[in-house]
Structure 1
């Protein structure tokens, strides 16, 4: 009976030991799992770290995108700068304002339609041809002083002298006209005299000359002393203007 009891005790001890051993195994498994869990936890941070790196790469991409965005801003800034430059150019369009500050320009030969007509009035000692300047430019312009006048003849050209009248400055409006007179002596010698072949007119302060048909008497008298001079009046000295 003692032996049987001892066997029971031994078996009980073995069962306890087995339980302990099983518990230990489970503890080891749990410990392994615990180790695995840290390992898994290490993996997760690592994965997170990878994600963070990936995210960091993504952030880098974002940063790169930010740089791109910054680059775009810089391009936009450059564009603004260029735009500002354009504004400067617009400012320079303000130099056109300087042209406006210069006032009206002088009438050029190309701005004028120039014609001549006989304007002799009966009873006058001298004969007269009136020269018309009509502004065809579309813009107002100014004229002052005397025009240059030469008569083409069958000999040498004959230049008209200024009459000495005071010459002012006048505004010739677009489409309007002004006149001046050429005064010359009549040929009363009974001879053919000096034949007049044409009229050369140069507007004041211009170098371009216009050649016109002569509308007056056909000749000038020939005299030993040179005779009476041909004279020209200042701009605006003949006619009413229009």
Structure 2
């Protein structure tokens, strides 16, 4: 009887140990299943963060490039504005006799001095009309090249007016005034005529007065 009791007790101990081992295996399996989603979630989150960081870097570079381009465009616009065309109200207009002995024609030089407080651009031909006792005589362009000139504030540029001398011995056409219109402007300036008192009478086939392009009579200080 004692032997049987010991055998039964031993069997009970073995059964208890087996049951404990099974429970531990089940707990380990359950723990492994719960850890796997957490690991996957962490990896996904890390990947998303890396992608977001990369995307943010691209946006930052694009924004910096756009800002640089905008600044360059603004700078270019400011430069163009600083050298806008010269306006009549910004120019001091003067005229003086510039005839040189021996020249075929007489010459008057007209000078534009920039007093507008900014640099400006001037190009082409000024409008020139001579007031006479027989009406207005408009000058004809010479057809020479007329490149643009940036006229610095306080600087001057000149052009010439040429006309034939009155060697006919008669009174000719008496000149009473000079009207000058800067290139690309509609506002004119009226000056005293500094040249010879008269022009020879023509047959009306064309004007004897010629005007050269801006800069044709030199550029001064």
Pick aligned residue for 2:78 from 79, 89, 100: 100
Q: Look up the match of 1:183.
A: 162
1:97 CA displacement: 6.2
Q: Look up the match of 1:172.
A: 151
Residues 1:203 and 2:185 are matched in the alignment: no
SS, match of residue 78 in structure 2: helix
Instruction: Please give the residue correspondences for 1:88-167 in structure 2 after superposition, counting only pairs within 5 Å.
Output: 99-100=77-78, 102-103=80-81, 104-167=83-146
Instruction: Please give the residue correspondences for 1:217-236 in structure 2 after superposition, counting only pairs within 5 Å.
Output: 217-224=196-203, 226=205, 229-236=208-215
- CA shift in 2, pair 1:154/1:124, >3 Å: same
1:239 CA displacement: 2.9
Instruction: Please give the residue correspondences for 1:17-36 in structure 2 after superposition, counting only pairs within 5 Å.
Output: none
Whole-angstrom distance in 1 between the partners of 2:202 and 2:91: 36
Whole-angstrom distance in 1 between the partners of 2:153 and 2:217: 19
The gaps in structure 2 that reach 5 residues or longer are 1-72
1:228 CA displacement: 6.3
CA deviation string 1:103-130 (max 9, x = no partner)? 4110000000000000001100000000
Per the normalisation by structure 2, the TM-score is 0.63
Contact 2:137–2:207, Cα closer than 8 Å, also in 1 = no
Whole-angstrom distance in 2 between the partners of 1:187 and 1:227: 16
Whole-angstrom distance in 1 between the partners of 2:125 and 2:133: 25
Q: Look up the match of 2:54.
A: none
CA-atom RMSD in angstroms: 2.0
When structure 1 is superposed on structure 2, of 188-197 and 226-235 the one drifting more is: 226-235
The gaps in structure 1 that reach 5 residues or longer are 1-94
Whole-angstrom distance in 2 between the partners of 1:217 and 1:102: 41
Q: Look up the match of 1:192.
A: 171
1:222 CA displacement: 0.6
- CA shift in 2, pair 1:211/1:145, >3 Å: same
CA deviation string 1:72-125 (max 9, x = no partner)? xxxxxxxxxxxxxxxxxxxxxxx9868515341100000000000000011000
- CA shift in 2, pair 1:161/1:154, >3 Å: same
